[in-house]
Structure 1
Amino acid sequence: MSSDPAYYSDRAPTRPTPAANRGGGVAVLVAVLVGAAVAVGLGAFGRIHDPQFFSVSVAGFSSGTAVKSWLATLAVTLALFQLASAFAMYRLIPGGRMPSWIATAHVWSGRLAVLATVPVAVHCLYALGFQSGDSRVFFHSLFGCFFYGVFVTKMLLLTRKGLRPWVIPIVGGLLFFVLVYVWLTSALWFFQTTGVTF
């Protein structure tokens, strides 16, 4: 979402002109191609890099995998707030006006969610690499790279004007779905396997 709370003012959206629509289509295509290049680049690095089997650890946690699982859980929790606040900003929640702070909170929860994923990505790519030993690990690796590709796509699109009104919500929803899938195939699996431990 935009970092400017005024972006979510009560003004009715204006219909983009045909020229703006064409420019918006090009912007979407360029953003998607850049995002795809990021995802492929991360996957290629993870595939050719020799796994080091250690990367991120924090005092008080039993392992780097535990750290990764809890950081991923924090990211998903913040993403759930992102989803709820996005519904509020798009007037999809019945009730009165949205709180004045919701747009700022939406922006910062998104920033913190992505920040929480960075050590997780470093651990996955550096310590483990892109793996395909079984379907869970393969799809986790695939969607982990895809997550950053979608993230880059969304960030590039947020700076563009003249986009169709559904573009940002679709990309944001895809980003949320991918993050949840990555969490389900890693942190949730870890907690189910070892118990809810630190």
Structure 2
Amino acid sequence: MATLPSDGRAAPVTGGTRVLVAFILAGVAVSVALGVYGRVHEPTGGGLFTLGFPSLMWMKVSLATAAMVLAIVQLLTALRMYGRLGRTPAPRATAVTHRVSGVLAVVLSAPVAFHCLWSLGFGAYDTRSLVHSLFGCVFYGVFVTKMLTLRSRRVPAWALPILGGTLFTVLVVVWLTSAMWFFANGFPDY
């Protein structure tokens, strides 16, 4: 990790930092592409499938809530792996649980995101829908950045926990402005 020289000049940018910046730019490109697609695509107003749920909205809220629960598992297992929970090294099962819960969370979020963009488009009708749309797009950008970082040995070690925490925080905002909002508002029939 680069440190500031004692004379106050900026620390030199390392190759790992350049790689991280490139990964962040890739994530930004994904976020922007999703947002642009959601904004220019004519929303269909209906879904292509409901996976057996009574309605499209029930499917989205249920899958988003399941993804949120898995994200909490992600948070707890990450804290355990980084030594923030427990005193002994984390067992191998912790890392396996972390990976599996992460894959499942993203798999569950995919039909939700697809239907948000396909059926509803990028919402700017009110503050809640705007925040939800922005953070929904950012979620996949941060996800791409985190996955690229995870596979690189050149990126500074501090980047991965920061990206993981950012991904968790973004998902919390997405969930609060969607599923939680529906629960709090009597779950209107959509």
Q: Tell me if TM exceeds 0.5.
A: yes
Alignment CA distance shift 1:131-1:196 (3 Å): closer
Equivalent in 67, 74, 87 of residue 82 of structure 1: 74
Q: Counterpart in 1 of 2:100?
A: 108
Q: Counterpart in 2 of 1:57?
A: 50
Using the size of structure 1 for normalisation, the TM-score is 0.85
Aligned residue runs from structure 1 range 184-195, under 5 A:
184-195=176-187
Shift of residue 95, structure 1, vs aligned partner: 3.0
Percent of residue pairs identical: 46
Mapped partners of 1:189, 1:149: distance in 2: 23
Q: Counterpart in 2 of 1:44?
A: 36
Q: Counterpart in 2 of 1:9?
A: none
Q: Counterpart in 1 of 2:151?
A: 159
Mapped partners of 1:141, 1:88: distance in 2: 32
Shift of residue 166, structure 1, vs aligned partner: 1.2
Q: Residues 122-155 of structure 1, C-alpha deviation per residue, up to 9 Å, x if partnerless? A: 1100000001010000000000000000000111
Please say which of residues 99-108 and 117-126 is displaced more in the overlay.
Answer: 99-108
Shift of residue 96, structure 1, vs aligned partner: 2.7
Q: Which letter does structure 1 place at the counterpart of 2:51?
A: V
Shift of residue 196, structure 1, vs aligned partner: 10
Q: Which letter does structure 2 place at the counterpart of 1:52?
A: T
Q: Residues 100-119 of structure 1, C-alpha deviation per residue, up to 9 Å, x if partnerless? A: 21111111110110010000
Q: CA RMSD in A?
A: 1.8
What are the ranges of 5 or more consecutive residues in structure 1 without an aligned counterpart? 1-14
Q: Counterpart in 2 of 1:35?
A: 27
Q: Counterpart in 2 of 1:91?
A: 83
Q: Which letter does structure 1 place at the counterpart of 2:26?
A: V
Shift of residue 165, structure 1, vs aligned partner: 2.0
1:129 paired with 2:145, answer no
Higher relative contact order (CA 8 A, sep 6+): 1
Q: Counterpart in 1 of 2:9?
A: none
What's the secondary structure of 2:22's corresponding residue?
helix
Mapped partners of 1:178, 1:48: distance in 2: 23
1:71 paired with 2:42, answer no
What are the ranges of 5 or more consecutive residues in structure 2 without an aligned counterpart? 3-12
Shift of residue 195, structure 1, vs aligned partner: 4.5
Shift of residue 93, structure 1, vs aligned partner: 1.1
Mapped partners of 1:70, 1:159: distance in 2: 31
Shift of residue 162, structure 1, vs aligned partner: 3.0
Moved over 4 A (4+): none
What's the secondary structure of 1:181's corresponding residue?
helix
Q: Which letter does structure 2 place at the counterpart of 1:57?
A: T
Count of paired positions: 178
Mapped partners of 2:118, 2:86: distance in 1: 45
